Structure 1
Amino acid sequence: MGLLSFIKEAGEKLLGHADEQAAADPNAANQTAADAIKNYISTQGLDTSNLTVAFDGASRTVTLSGSVADLDTKAKVKVAAGNVQGVAGVNDDDLQPDDPQVQYHDVKSGDTLSAIAKEVYGDANKYPVIFEANKPMLSSPDRIYPGQKLVIPPQS
């Protein structure tokens, strides 16, 4: 898929004082950030055993490589890595399996999963499809926030 853009000011606060550390030792800061992001992906219940995560602090980009079990896991890994405060993009060019065109949605102020489902599928009652596609990153259908990127599964 290539580079997937995110809003770097939104997301989980994992990187702490990364800018201060990056000024002192950019390589160590990048490795620390990559480790924190990989750990966060793992805490979402996603298998990271064959996943390599790299972070470039200058471009604020996460690069994912290796392999994951399936396309559903790949989509969840990408949004988990990108929904971290300070991450502006996720590159998955070297992450297997290759995926067909996957759709994403950037949450805006006032959005609900029902409203997104109505916009995408034409039926607000299909919000559980979006919720399930974004678990475990979403713990409740009501816990989305502006700037978050969600996976939108194909209509079945």
Structure 2
Amino acid sequence: MIKAKYQSVLELGEKLNIKNGDVSEANGVLTIKGTAANQYEKNLLWDKIKAIGGDKPSDIVADIKVADTSVFARHTVKSGDTLGAIAKQYYGSAGKYNEIFKANTDILKNPDVIHPDQELIIPNL
């Protein structure tokens, strides 16, 4: 029953391709373990857990590690993306676009010019 309650968390884990995933249930508590690619993906999982179980759920224990702690995330530019929109997606604030620009000056020369398929580093703040 607890597993069904958190099924959307498990589905998100599959979508994010969480490595070394393990799910078990005992005494009314769901335990999930795995390794997310980066901190952003770990945060997505925790946000989903909190949306279902509240800020401190007592019926789930999650041990999510992060494979790459050197960056917050990596983003492949899609048509229509802007650094402001990307900053809003990852940081919640379009105004932090310059942090992304600074982290990618090896491929970006102007913060107003990005191209589809460029892979951008989203730095830890």
TM range (shorter): 0.3 to 0.5
Greater strand share, structure number:
2
- TM-score, length of structure 2 as denominator length: 0.43
- TM-score, length of structure 1 as denominator length: 0.35
- Please say which structure displays the higher CA radius of gyration: 2
- Structure showing greater relative contact order (alpha-carbon pairs closer than 8 Å, 6 or more residues apart): 1
